[in-house]
Amino acid sequence: MDKIATCLWFDGNAEEAVRFYTGIFKNSSIGDITHYGESMPGKAGEVLTITFHLEGREFLALNGGPQYTFSPAISMFVKCESQEEVDTLWDGLLEGGGSPVQCGWLTDRFGVSWQIVPTAMMKFLTDKDQTKVQRAMQAMMKMVKLDVKALEAAFNGQ
């Protein structure tokens, strides 16, 4: 168990969300599921929390009610090793009503914001040659889903 885990607050659809996420990420699992009891504020028997893992990271999904909603102020930043991984995660997370945003960002059907970023982009942005960095950044700003080949071409001035 991680010392620090991310808790995601849902309004009654935590189990649906967890099954959705663990169906997209290859290295994932569902852990413990707790339920509301008779003396709790939720309906007895309904799911209260679910622990789950995505790519080695622990999360807790909580059916807390309608008081809070997700915002892009906090997002899941996913480092992808290939364009194929970018495409797979991008398409999977948009399934069922998600919305593409810009610069590798999307919002899934539950309202959670994700950044699907190729690791190559991080290399481009940390290069010592600021002209190359600027070209890669300008290319990224025009994209919705990030394209590794196009970013690399911009970085190399092609």
Backbone torsions φ then ψ of 57, nearest 5 degrees: -105, 135
Domain final position from 68, 90, 112? 68
User: Same domain for 42 and 78?
Assistant: no
pLDDT at 112 over 70: yes
25 shares its domain with 36:
yes
Phi, psi of 144 (to 5 degrees): -100, -80
**Residues 3 and 30 grouped into a single domain:** yes
pLDDT at 40 over 90: no
The predicted pLDDT at position 31 comes to 97
Same-domain pairing of 54 and 82 = no
pLDDT at 43 over 70: yes
Cβ burial 85-107 (10 Å sphere, 16+ → b, else e): bbebbbebbbeeebeebeebbbb
At 54 the pLDDT is 98
Q: What is the pTM of this model?
A: 0.93
| Residue 141 belongs to domain with CATH number | 3.10.180.10
User: Where does a domain end: 68, 99, 124?
Assistant: 68
Domain count of the fold of the chain: 2
Strand order in the sheet with 6-10: 6-10, 57-63, 47-54, 28-35
Full domain range(s) for residue 119:
70-158
Is the domain of 110 the same as that of 131? yes
Bridge partners of 77, per DSSP, are 115
